[in-house]
Structure 1
Amino acid sequence: MIKKIRVLLVDDHMLVLDGLQARLELEGNIDIIATASNGLEALEKAKVTRPDLVLMDVSMPVLNGLEATKRFKVEQPNVKILMLSMHNDKEYILSLIQSGANGYVLKDVSSEELVQAINTVYQGGTYFSSGASDALFSTVAVPKQCDELTKREIAVLKEVAVGLSNKEIAQLLSISVRTVETHRQNLKNKLDIHTSAGLIKYALAHHLID
């Protein structure tokens, strides 16, 4: 039996919600368990429905996608967050990554690409549609390969780049959270990179993640 991805859809436009639900329910491995029209409603419904992934707009009334993402990462840290937005502004995207979003897809993508993004994020990866990637990385220089990184630092970098928290990395690598924090600081110092976007760009450029 196929394990279905339990998805909560969040958008303040009913027409968008209806269209997304109708399209995604055609996929055999996706189950739309609930919909919400703002971030606060999404948080409340998620407490009851326990989704695997939240597909959420950024600009919404009551509680927007950015603030909702921050709260999801505190209240339900295991839930994957995939943003779906019309905004390709670098600051928007950077803020959401730093708040814990696992991916960012522009609303002009095909339905096939949206399904790919959902599957990628659900499986633990990060996903940025081409328009979002262009906006995010257009002014981020790719550092040269640093030969001074240890195997453990590279392992931590890979997990940081796919969006895991310090606690999740510590559990995965069987080390303490304090040790993860030390490795992250060493990465910043050695690579001279001080943003999550920069670390993702570095990991992609040097084929540490797909």
Structure 2
Amino acid sequence: MNNHKRNITLVVADTQFLTNEALKSILSPLYQVVHLVSTKAGLLQYLHQETISLVITDYTLFDFDSIDDLGEIRKQYPDMGIIILTNAITHIKIKELNDSGIKNIVLKTDDGDELFHAIEAALKGKKYYSGDVLDILLKKDGPMEDASLLTTSEIEIVRLIAAGLSTKEIAVKKHISFHTVMTHRKNIFRKLSVSSSPELMMYAIKAGLIDNIEYHI
């Protein structure tokens, strides 16, 4: 890497103190400005006030409502790079991120070179998945392929069902009609070839749509 600081402003958006401080220590000698934020409000404030070249975030720990939040940021700041740095990633979530225009993903267990490769790619507007992320994408066993047929909205509804929300509560939360939620449910059941909510939950856990801890009986 170049020993001279580059005139680039980065934001590290993570709720883990040690992660933020470690990344700042690694990146500060190389890039002119490295901001640390632990809330979405703090991130949006920096994006509004300054020209940010790159955001590095663990979206699973941050207070994003969904991946759609990241997609909206991507639309508002199309020239800004976004890197996902996480240990909670699945085939389905990679697809969701890709659909939102976010195509730079690295695991926290990867070595430093992978992160720097991702940074350089993101700054040039190019895609970069680390080797371990590519391994996840290449795994074709299990129900992943069927689950990937679900739309982003359908995946969100599966997660709300897993959280214990009723059809009426889902309709209120998503600001859609009861009938629309029922239609989504029918489509989800049809696509995944399941016939009950418990069967849907087991399928969703195996497919990586939800974690065991997300499922409320």
| Alpha-carbon separation, structure 1, partners of 2:72 and 2:82 | 11
Q: CA deviation at 1:64?
A: 5.2
Moved over 3 A (4+): none
Q: Following superposition of structure 1 onto structure 2, how do residues 1-210 of structure 1 map, counting pairs within 5 Å?
A: 3-27=6-30, 30-63=31-64, 66-139=67-140
SS in 2 for 1:96: helix
Over aligned residues, Cα RMSD in angstroms? 2.2
The sequence identity of aligned pairs, in percent, is 21
Counterparts in 2 of 1:105 and 1:64: CA distance versus 1, 3 Å: farther
SS in 2 for 1:4: strand
CA contact (8 A) 1:7 1:33 kept: yes
The one-letter code of the counterpart of 1:4 is N
- TM-score (normalised: structure 1): 0.59
| Alpha-carbon separation, structure 2, partners of 1:80 and 1:2 | 18
Q: CA deviation at 1:7?
A: 1.0
Q: Which moved more, 1:42-51 or 1:77-86?
A: 42-51
Deviation per CA, 1:123-178, whole angstroms, max 9, x where unpaired? 121110111111123229xxxxxxxxxxxxxxxxxxxxxxxxxxxxxxxxxxxxxx
SS in 2 for 1:62: coil
| Alpha-carbon separation, structure 2, partners of 1:87 and 1:64 | 16
Q: CA deviation at 1:24?
A: 1.1
Deviation per CA, 1:4-41, whole angstroms, max 9, x where unpaired? 332111001111100100011132xx233422113342
CA contact (8 A) 1:10 1:54 kept: yes
Q: CA deviation at 1:61?
A: 4.4
Tell which structure's C-alpha radius of gyration is larger: 2
Counterparts in 2 of 1:23 and 1:12: CA distance versus 1, 3 Å: same
Unaligned stretches of 5+ in structure 2?
142-217
Unaligned stretches of 5+ in structure 1?
141-210
| Alpha-carbon separation, structure 1, partners of 2:13 and 2:118 | 16
Counterparts in 2 of 1:64 and 1:9: CA distance versus 1, 3 Å: farther
Counterparts in 2 of 1:133 and 1:7: CA distance versus 1, 3 Å: same
CA contact (8 A) 2:5 2:29 kept: no
